[in-house]
């Protein structure tokens, strides 16, 4: 077991398992395998006639997930379910999952601890690394291209829209003046100088700009919208969609899609308010602080 897998407990794991309420013969899709903690939970609840289809567009994550799930299946022996892992974006779910075939679909959006902890992936402003931020390392552009090549105006709009950073113009100006920018630490310093924390104890000033670049580079919101569009067609009646968002842009798409779908007779929403982590989980895993889980059932 790698260091990451030993340490990593998926966010809101018990709640996810409760909402999915895995049936041994069912078919489930994990759109965001990551370190496969949730996927392992699903596989262990399935029987030999059950099936898990997993997606991750990060080739490193996919290989780690495969190794972990292989071990679990080996341990389960003849009781092990079928597992199929796909190294593509989950927006392509419709190409791999038959209509009305899934009992449950899970998506735990955002970055994995593996991605955040590896400085060379360039997601973290707390480590010195190249400004990459691609989940799928096979396709461009990287964030360093965006930071060094985009016009000041476009950069400001991007930081405002995807980072919800009110000081986006100041930040964009500082970035353009600071070019060429090569490392995450250098970028974090430039952003912090343009938008210092307003109050003691506030989030790191670079958080919003890093979030914006990551969302843009990985087209994260388009991916989420595509999933909400495809899911109703792929679920069986009473099949469930469970999603976890980590910032307001993700959660807003989930909330609005479920609400609009409920009006159209597509969804029965199971979470009136989003489910959040309790104090104990936040203590154990600070990343869970911002998690919001929503679930709905196909009518
Ligand atoms: C927060 S982690 C998931 C953690 C996972 N639930 C676990 O138990 O370890 C999110 C993962 O989803 C992947 N991911 C994010 N957006 C994706 C997308 N649009 N298509 C495919 N994979 C995606 C990331 O590469 C990352 O590995």
Give pLDDT tens digits for 139-165: 989 999 999 999 999 999 999 999 999
Q: What is the mean pLDDT of the chain?
A: 95
**C-alpha distance from residue 207 to each of 94, 147, 261 (Å):** 33, 15, 32
Euclidean distance between CA atoms 17 and 7, whole angstroms: 19
Q: Which residue from 2, 31, 34 has its CB within 8 A of the most atoms of ligand 1, so it is best to mutate?
A: 34
pTM for the model stands at: 0.96
* pLDDT of 242 above 80: yes
**Residue pair 10/277 in contact by the 8 Å Cβ criterion:** no
**Residue pair 43/65 in contact by the 8 Å Cβ criterion:** no
Question: How high is the pLDDT of residue 201?
Answer: 73
Confidence of residue 6 (pLDDT cuts 50, 70, 90): very low
Segment 7-20 shows an average pLDDT of 91
Closest to 46 in 3D by CA, of 10, 80, 85, 18: 80
Q: Say what percent of the chain tops pLDDT 70.
A: 97
CB atoms closer than 10 angstroms to residue 248: 12
Backbone angles phi, psi at 269, to 5 degrees: -80, 130
**Cβ partners under 8 Å of residue 240, min gap 6:** 19, 20, 21, 103, 104, 105, 270, 295, 296, 297, 298
Question: How high is the pLDDT of residue 69?
Answer: 98
| Ligand 1, pocket residues at CB < 6 Å | 8, 10, 32, 34-38, 55-58, 61, 89-90, 108, 110, 112, 135, 223
What's the CA angle centered on 69, arms 87 and 224, to 5 degrees?
40
DSSP state of 187: H
Give pLDDT tens digits for 177-215: 999 999 999 999 999 999 988 777 778 899 999 999 999
* pLDDT of 227 above 90: yes
* pLDDT of 98 above 50: yes
Give pLDDT tens digits for 257-284: 999 999 999 999 999 999 999 999 999 9
Question: How high is the pLDDT of residue 7?
Answer: 53
């Amino acid at each position: 077991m790698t260091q990451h897998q030993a340490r990593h407990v998926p966010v809101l794991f018990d709640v996810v398992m409760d909402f999915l309420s895995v049936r041994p013969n069912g078919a489930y899709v994990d759109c965001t395998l990551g370190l496969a903690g949730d996927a392992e939970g699903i596989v262990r609840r399935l029987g030999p006639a059950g099936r898990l289809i997993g997606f991750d567009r990060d080739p490193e994550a996919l290989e780690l997930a495969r190794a972990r799930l292989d071990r679990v299946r080996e341990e389960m022996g003849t009781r092990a379910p079928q597992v199929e892992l796909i190294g593509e974006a989950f927006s392509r779910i419709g190409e791999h999952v038959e209509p009305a075939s899934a009992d449950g679909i899970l998506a735990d959006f955002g970055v994995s601890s593996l991605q955040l902890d590896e400085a060379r992936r360039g997601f973290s402003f707390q480590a010195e690394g190249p400004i990459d931020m691609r989940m799928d390392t096979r396709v461009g552009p990287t964030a360093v291209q965006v930071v060094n090549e985009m016009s000041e105006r476009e950069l400001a709009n991007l930081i405002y829209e995807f980072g919800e950073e009110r000081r986006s113009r100041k930040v964009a100006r500082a970035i353009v003046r600071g070019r060429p920018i090569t490392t995450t630490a250098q970028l974090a310093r430039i952003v912090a100088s343009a938008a210092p924390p307003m109050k003691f104890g506030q989030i790191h000033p670079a958080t919003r700009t890093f979030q914006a670049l990551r969302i843009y580079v990985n087209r994260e919101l388009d991916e989420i919208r595509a999933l909400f569009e495809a899911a109703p067609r792929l679920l069986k009646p009473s099949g469930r969609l469970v999603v976890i968002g980590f910032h307001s842009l993700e959660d807003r798409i989930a909330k609005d899609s479920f609400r609009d779908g409920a009006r159209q007779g597509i969804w029965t929403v199971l979470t009136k308010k989003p489910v959040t982590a309790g104090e104990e989980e936040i203590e154990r895993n600070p990343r869970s602080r911002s998690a919001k889980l929503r679930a709905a059932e196909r009518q």
